[in-house]
Structure 1
Amino acid sequence: MKDGQKRSELSPGMDVGIVLKKDQRSGNITYGTIQDILTNSATHPHGIKVRLRSGDIGRVKEIK
């Protein structure tokens, strides 16, 4: 299973699970569709930061 640490694995329109900033301690995952990819680097150890169509911003933890 892809874990969302590589920017090349993601594109707008994909369904993903992200962890919001407020949920980092609990690890709650919010599901939605990518609107924008916010991380510029090719990889990130905690997951690539994205904005969902709902407006939520967080780091990708799983790709559906």
Structure 2
Amino acid sequence: MSDRNGQLRANIQPGMDVEIVLKKDQKTGKRTTGRVEDILTNTPHHPHGIKVRLTDGQVGRVKNISHQ
């Protein structure tokens, strides 16, 4: 799998820039960008994306990991 895969917890670290889908945006798939503060999903894999909290407090599931 790609290292940009937001479904694998091992690919995500605090401080990374990611694109997430917020709960309110699940129907539209609108993405929000931000930096990971905390990883909220405890399992190593989640089919809808690992749930994270961004530094601004927003919570959603990772859809893409940005690489600088």
TM-score, scaled relative to structure 2: 0.91
Output the aligned Cα RMSD.
0.8
CA distance in structure 2 between the aligned counterparts of 1:39 and 1:57, rounded to whole angstroms: 11
The aligned runs of 1:14-25 (5 Å cut-off) are 14-25=16-27
Q: Any gaps of 5 or more consecutive residues in structure 2?
A: none
CA distance in structure 2 between the aligned counterparts of 1:12 and 1:3, rounded to whole angstroms: 15
TM-score, scaled relative to structure 1: 0.97
CA distance in structure 2 between the aligned counterparts of 1:30 and 1:41, rounded to whole angstroms: 23
1:57 to 41, 52, 59: 59
Number of paired residues?
64
Identity of aligned residues (%): 59
Partner of 2:37: 35
